[in-house]
Amino acid sequence: MSQTPPFDPTDPVALAQALIRCPSVTPDEGGALALLESVLAAEGYAVHRPVFGEPGTADVENLYARIGMESPVFVIAGHTDVVPIGDAAAWTRDPFSGEIADGALHGRGACDMKGGLAAMIAAALRYRRDNPDAKGSIAFLITGDEEGPAVNGTVKLLDWAHRRGERFDHCLLGEPTNPAAMSDMIKIGRRGSLTGKLTVNGRQGHVGYPHLADNPIRGMVRLLAALDAAPLDAGTEHFDPSNLEVTTLDVGNPATNVVPAQAKAVFNIRFNDVWTPQTLAAEIERRLREAAGNTVRYEIAFQPTNAVAFLTQPGPFVAMVGDAVEAQTGRRPALSTTGGTSDARFIKSYCPVVEYGPVGKTMHQVNEEVALADLVALEAITHRLLTTYFAATAQA
């Protein structure tokens, strides 16, 4: 039988502080999921802790919890794993102390995303305490593998739940979506990500005898220029234009008088809903073929990706989230698809998903923090959203 936590879990600051004190650096559970299991079980949730793994990866602990047996099922999703702290000496405070100072909660994961997750859990618990007989169900999908390879976390947890017969209607994911204030931004989609590794082959030789060598750098410059010569697209209604960035360029040559044998580059494309990974790779290959002609010898390889572009179409659910934010903050948030990838890319295959969470100014940084006022606001926004969501269900 789970023990009652030594604090009120409907207090978002107290719950976030307790989570930060768990050193759950990917893939270590660090006590964070055990803490949430005790919190949720004490509130009447049925809690499961599946562990997933596969060869070449670390086993990862996850958590699924649900209260209620009726539809609709409102899902709150998130992760308890955090990125490494880096240089501990660079931190002003112990990154796992959960210290409160200057109106903020400090520590690794404060805004990404233990603070957001805690506020949403606190709101859900308060809602059920106030409405014990409410129709509908609330479920939690919480992983320990979002900041890592993301192969033994949400993607497998969703499949596990689906095979058990669980069905979801809508999902709120608590990533730190707001750039500067809690009224700024709701994410209704995400760009995809595709990484390519380009190798140009030449012939090593003495720089004083260039006719005996073949410098691959010239070919690499030509190919990269071709990839960047024309925009991939002009963007869509809800997405910016797709963007290609060269992230590494190297010939591995320590000598100044030697023509290198190879040049290697890596590029990453954040793409919109014009493309799939397959169609985008085909376009990149076409551009390379045309630029290379019969003179540049090259190889291109694309890393496997599960990061595809997706969009939750604006509609009643998106509007409901916006209404809750506006009612609390006084300002309507923008709808956005910017930023990196998130576990929403997996959830979207099971139900509509929207992302909304704390201000993300310090995520992954030294001295990560979240304003106490933002946690309180997020709890109030989530509580308002749940109230409106299930009230609409009761009237339907």
State both tokens at 95: 């990154």
Q: What is the DSSP letter of 43?
A: T
- On whether the CB atoms of residues 342 and 220 are closer than 8 A, the answer is no
- On whether the CB atoms of residues 77 and 353 are closer than 8 A, the answer is yes
Rounded alpha-carbon distances, angstroms, from residue 14 to 79, 118, 256, 376: 18, 9, 60, 11
CA distance 66 to 140: 6
Q: HSE on the CB side for 214, CA within 13 Å?
A: 12
State both tokens at 294: 């019969």
Active-site residue identified among 11, 61, 112, 146: 146
| CA nearest neighbour of 344 among 358, 355, 334 | 355
Contacts of 304 (CB under 8 A, 6+ apart): none
Rounded alpha-carbon distances, angstroms, from residue 323 to 50, 86, 140, 315, 335: 35, 39, 23, 12, 12
Asked about 94 being catalytic, the answer comes back as no
Backbone angles phi, psi at 308, to 5 degrees: -105, 155
* Amino acid symbol at 393: T
Coil vs helix vs strand at 353: strand
CA distance 392 to 88: 48
Active-site residue identified among 11, 61, 81, 283: 81
| CA nearest neighbour of 232 among 302, 289, 280 | 280
- On whether the CB atoms of residues 355 and 175 are closer than 8 A, the answer is yes
CA terminus-to-terminus distance, the chain: 38
**Regarding beta strands 137-143 and 334-336, do their DSSP bridges make them parallel or antiparallel, or are they unpaired?**
unpaired
CA distance 117 to 80: 8
- On whether the CB atoms of residues 63 and 128 are closer than 8 A, the answer is no
- Give the active site residues: 81, 146
